[in-house]
Amino acid sequence: MKTLRIALLQLLPGETLEENLQTGLAACRKAKEGGADIALFPEMWNCGYSIPEDIGTLRAQAVPADGEFVKPFGALAAELDMAIAITFLERYEPLPRNTVILFDRHGKKVLTYAKVHTCDFGEECRLTPGDDFYVAELDTAGGPVKVGAMICYDREFPESGRILMLKGAEIVLVPNACPMEINRLSQLRGRAYEDMMGIATCNYPCGQPDCNGHSSAFDGVAYLPELSGSRDTCILEANGNEGIYFAQFDLDMLRKYRREEVHGNAYRHPGKYHILTEERISEPFIRADYRK
């Protein structure tokens, strides 16, 4: 069977950019030793998800998308014949972005995604939001796979997963930096279920402020003919410890399920959903710190 093996690098960041670079490169090598097709980092790995209040310090901490922190991961991807999804605070104007870049196993940059749903009620009000969701066809040793990305808070909006599904995503990579508890895990389970796609989330372990590990993977396949009821779509939930955790997605099973089941885009009525694109916000949802 055709499978996709994703390494979730649930690691503690270091004190410096160089330390995170070296730790990250070493972790990717271990992921390859474990048979990974893709290595995924937690959110903003270059700085350990640090967003300074001082704008000058924030800008100094950001790194360019084609700079000396990011490029080595592209080179290593080609060396290892393994895709790498590296996350970082991206140097950008007017303010930095929360970004993930996916290098394919040839070292080619195939996807760049900046977090659309920034947490503007908190410190991410100092970041520039992304403006769209993207899907790339990733060349793997087992054949092409359509891969998308969303970051942390994006998962709390059904629209994020729905757009990625409509653009063809089979697997969605989710860098994360927050406590993963039953409700947030349920959001990921819901996105996988309703869009019939696999979702792999990588979080920081316990020891990182406001994080608790529990990186996870949901394969989105809720029903199988041989089962009398629904199945658990969770194929991996890590504990809180630092480590590299592997999630293996059965792509043949997922693709067959998507061809036959009722969710995703099979029975939608988009012509009746006009209210979803209205920008008017009414009580009780008006927030003073909301940014369009």
Residues 6 or more apart in contact with residue 227 via CB below 8 angstroms: none
If you average pLDDT over residues 86-93, what whole number do you get?
98
**Active site includes 152?**
yes
Joined together, the tokens standing for residue 152 give: 């942390």
- Say if residue 1's pLDDT is above 90: no
pLDDT in tens, 105-140: 999 999 999 999 999 999 999 999 999 999 999 999
Strand pairing of 171-175 and 198-202? Answer: parallel
Which of 28, 43, 170, 211 is flagged as catalytic? 43
**Catalytic residue status for 181:** no
Q: Which of 32, 47, 115, 170 is catalytic?
A: 115
Q: How many other C-beta atoms are found inside a 10 Å radius of the C-beta of residue 59?
A: 17
Mean local confidence (pLDDT), 223-251? 96
pLDDT band at 191 (very low <50, low <70, confident <90, very high): very high
Above 70 in pLDDT, residue 148?
yes
Question: Could you report the per-residue pLDDT of 162-184, keeping only the tens digit for each?
Answer: 999 999 999 999 999 999 999 99
| Bridge pairing between strands 135-140 and 143-149 | antiparallel
Indicate if the pLDDT at residue 65 is higher than 70. Answer: yes
Among residues 28, 47, 90, 152, the one annotated as catalytic is 152
The DSSP H or E segment spanning 245 is strand 243-250
Instruction: Check if 115 is active-site.
Output: yes
Q: How far apart are the first and last CA of the chain?
A: 44
Percent of the chain with pLDDT over 90: 98
